[in-house]
Structure 1
Amino acid sequence: MVTSPGLERTTVLRERRSAAAHIGRICFKTGPPVHTGVELEWTVHDAADPARPVDRERLRAALGRHSPVTLDSTSPARTLRHGSAVTVEPGGQVEVSTAPRPSLAALVLATDADIAELTALLARAGLVLGRTGIDPWRAPRPVLETNRYRAMRRVFDRRGPAGRTMMYSTAGLQVCLDAGEPADLALRWATLHAVGPPLVAAFATADRHAGRRTGWASARMAAWLAIDPDRTRPVWSPDRPDEDPVAAWTRYVLTAPLLCLRQDGADWTPPAGVTFADWIDGALPRAPTTDDLEYHVSTLFPPVRPRGYLEVRYLDAQPGADWRIPLAVLTALLARSETARAARAVAAPVADRWHAAARRGLADPPVAVAATALLDLALTVLPELDLPPEIHEQTSSGIRRRRVAAERGYR
């Protein structure tokens, strides 16, 4: 997240309107939609026995100088050769976060190279990347412990086991798109939300977990939806389709309960039910700062999250190079304002069917109808994205495969 130039990170917040102003400054950076980024997360497995646990030390040895400091406090945490940062999630999932690129082609080529480098590092340690959005073989198990992760687990445990499943077993694909010009922000924001359920279904890969069928097309999305609706439900709603994105996000941030309260000692668990607005109003011994606000924002996990850019968080990890396909679909759907409007209109009838999409996937007929139309729309725009011929053909073929699967869902 980018810190606002107008306020120091340690500015004390004593009024809700000051917090709201800061949120508006940092969370939506408008301008020409030029850059695209991606964050790819995978479960990690022993190459010979994918059900075998992989411990922290084995990951540290495999990643070497690319280990994040949460894994090795002495690590230089070097990026991969093409600029992707490597992080490790609490269940041992490995994630690469790319540098933003000015074209889809540049992003794909650089990311492919960094994935190849990461794959080689892991292979030397007898490890391989997973291919689905949730661990198909192993039950949830902590690998990496930090004050933040302990606090998250304790808060999530208040509601049940879904938090541990999310933290220790899931792997997602996040697409990061510019917020766009001020006049287009509301459209891009609404479109990315509205197309969510059909794209969840079209790219669901998480139906098996811990050695069994889950009954969900995307058990990863099911876990996220079950954690805590105050921090994982969509910000945009078809019930309020024209609400200002900044106002909606500000309300979401201020009314969400705290997940972590950074303080001396190892226990960062906050008092139950205290929201950030409550903190501003004096619910805790000290007043919050702008840095506390930005940290709180990092503990909110809606399907689309504004971080200056728009971060799409609802997609399952994809097998092999298939991560390119949903990336290209989303980029195509937002390539032009008229395309975004068409995508929003197509998805409008199912824009609230998050649970149905996660549960039934393309077996839900209304969601399948919308997914088919969205994939058709993406195919019409794909040639404009200037992908190299081989990657264009592979991506087009992948979209068409999913379109056929979607069409079967309602015929």
Structure 2
Amino acid sequence: MSPDTPGGHGPPGSDPPLGEGAAEDLLRGICFKTGPPRIVGVELEWLLHDRDHPHRLVPPHRLEAAAAAVRALPLSAALTFEPGGQLELSSRPADSLMACVNDTAADLVAVRAALARLDLAPAGLGVDPWQPPRRLLREPRYDAMETALDRWGPAGRAMMCTTASVQVCLDAGEEEPGPLGYGRRWQLAHLLGAVLVAAFANSPFRQGGPTPWRSTRQSLWADLDPLRTLAPAGLLPPRDGWTAHVLDTPVLCIRGEGPWAVPDGLTFREWIRSGLPRRPGRADLDYHITTLFPPVRPRGHLELRMIDAQPGEDGWIVPLAVTTALFDDPEAAETVYRTVKPLAETAGAQAAPRNPLWAGAARDGLTDPELRAAAAVCFGLALEALPRLGASRAVQDAVADFHDRYVARGRCPADDLRDRLGTAPAHGTAHPKGTLS
């Protein structure tokens, strides 16, 4: 997951003060923009490894050279670098699945070539198997984030500096009820999310040793500040639930001219009411949203944030294609909702990602029989829907191959990593080129 380097925010305190009612109105209006689903996007994070010796620590000067080389490329996607040096490409909103795939794939060809000239390679792994957290970006946002997340233990630094993901971005949905309605899509995202965690789990190692998890990345998210990373309570309609969640979550930081303040327990609602240390404005509310990390985040569209980075040059295409098909094809959306709805009983009352369903997905992957059965239905529906969405034969074949290699066998990419690297990814072993990419 990305710590979300935000842009477009005004200087601290430069906009008019925001009242509580105005904040509620803004959140209801900007976070669920409704209409027929048609736009898709993807955000891809990559660890950067030495091409020939992926277990070796890449020194900061090489990562700085990589950042300069990639920033010089004429990419269609937005480019950012995360606190630990991870590279992130955020595609432009595309009018179709294939437009998103083609634009992003072209960008990645250029990025890989630029990195190869520096003997570096982007690695598709949910968590770095070898390196401890090492923060390279020294900016007020990340200083404040580290301070705030350290209150909950070491998982925050690990998330910031050693994790990578595939984030799928889809329209919120239609205003009216039905398979493409925003309320249904919001529910579907949180139930299907556990299936996506299990199917695409790809982070069974951390700091040179095995973990109990197939998605260690997801386990790290579950260990962070629970208010900041939990889904909103499910009793309210999505707009109301999310609005209350945003206003009642403590602010991570208050931007200032010098070091940013890091209050402990001050919610945004309380900040509005108290007006201290200064009155918040619209830019502060926008910024606060970027510091909330639930598994599904509405920002006009829906960001699905629970998928580990995937192996191989094109591994990211499969979760993008499957998720888009299950959400945007009406027939698939209706059937998959009926398939995953019974999983709510397994989830219990606790919100994702701290409930038993999500914890089991991160730990067990598709060895869990319920998740395996649900994944099999999901992939079957996606394969039926992809031609209707105009997916190319190559994309359809990639999804079918993933199904045959993993889903049909109750496996996920993490199981391949365990088989390949044994009980631990030994620091002294040079693995073949591309093994972990």
Q: Same fold (TM over 0.5)?
A: yes
Q: Distance in 1 between matches of 2:323 and 2:134?
A: 33
> What do residues 227-269 of structure 1 show as CA deviations (whole Å, max 9, x unaligned)?
01101112364xx3xx31111110110111111210121x224
1:200 to 178, 197, 200: 197
Percentage of pairs with the same residue = 44
Change beyond 3 A, Cα 1:146–1:405: farther
Q: How many angstroms does 1:2 deviate by?
A: 11
> What do residues 51-79 of structure 1 show as CA deviations (whole Å, max 9, x unaligned)?
32224432232232644xxxxxxxxxx6x
Alignment partner of 1:44: what SS? strand
2:398 to 384, 394, 399: 394
**Which structure 1 residue ranges, 5 or more long, are not aligned?**
68-77
Q: How many angstroms does 1:336 deviate by?
A: 3.0
2:32 to 28, 38, 52: 28
Q: Distance in 2 between matches of 1:10 and 1:33?
A: 33
Quote the residue 1:359 is aligned against: 363
Q: TM-score of the superposition, structure 1-length normalised?
A: 0.89
* Corresponding position: 1:220 with 2:217: yes
Q: How many angstroms does 1:26 deviate by?
A: 1.6
> What do residues 182-221 of structure 1 show as CA deviations (whole Å, max 9, x unaligned)?
1111111111111011110000001111111111010001
Quote the residue 1:73 is aligned against: none
Amino acid at match of 2:48: V
* Corresponding position: 1:11 with 2:16: yes
Change beyond 3 A, Cα 1:141–1:192: same
Q: Distance in 1 between matches of 2:335 and 2:264?
A: 43
Quote the residue 2:306 is aligned against: 314
Give matches, 1:271-286, under 5 Å. Answer: 271-282=263-274, 284-286=276-278
Q: Distance in 1 between matches of 2:193 and 2:133?
A: 26
Give matches, 1:399-410, under 5 Å. Answer: 399-406=403-410
Q: TM-score of the superposition, structure 2-length normalised?
A: 0.84
Give matches, 1:269-348, under 5 Å. Answer: 269-282=261-274, 284-320=276-312, 321-348=314-341
2:113 to 120, 123, 127: 120
Give matches, 1:250-269, under 5 Å. Answer: 250-265=243-258, 267-269=259-261
Change beyond 3 A, Cα 1:344–1:269: farther
Q: How many angstroms does 1:392 deviate by?
A: 2.4
User: What is the root-mean-square deviation of aligned Cα atoms in Å?
Assistant: 2.2
Q: Distance in 2 between matches of 1:383 and 1:227?
A: 40
Q: Which runs of 4+ in 1 moved over 6 A?
A: none
* Corresponding position: 1:153 with 2:140: no
Change beyond 3 A, Cα 1:271–1:82: closer
Alignment partner of 2:305: what SS? strand
Q: How many angstroms does 1:346 deviate by?
A: 1.2
* Corresponding position: 1:50 with 2:54: yes
Quote the residue 2:353 is aligned against: none
**Which structure 2 residue ranges, 5 or more long, are not aligned?**
1-5, 348-356, 413-437
Amino acid at match of 1:255: D
Q: How many angstroms does 1:365 deviate by?
A: 2.1
Amino acid at match of 2:45: E
Amino acid at match of 2:302: L
Q: Distance in 2 between matches of 1:65 and 1:269?
A: 34
Alignment partner of 1:281: what SS? helix
Q: Distance in 2 between matches of 1:2 and 1:309?
A: 17
1:84 to 77, 81, 84: 77
Q: Distance in 1 between matches of 2:59 and 2:273?
A: 43
Quote the residue 1:368 is aligned against: 372
Q: How many angstroms does 1:49 deviate by?
A: 2.2
Equivalences, count: 388
> What do residues 265-315 of structure 1 show as CA deviations (whole Å, max 9, x unaligned)?
1x2242111110110110622111011000000000100101111111000
Amino acid at match of 1:279: W
Q: Distance in 1 between matches of 2:223 and 2:24?
A: 28
Q: How many angstroms does 1:381 deviate by?
A: 1.1
Alignment partner of 1:250: what SS? helix
Q: Distance in 1 between matches of 2:243 and 2:405?
A: 39
Q: Which range moved further: 87-96 or 53-62?
A: 53-62
Change beyond 3 A, Cα 1:9–1:330: farther
> What do residues 100-126 of structure 1 show as CA deviations (whole Å, max 9, x unaligned)?
111111111111110111111111111
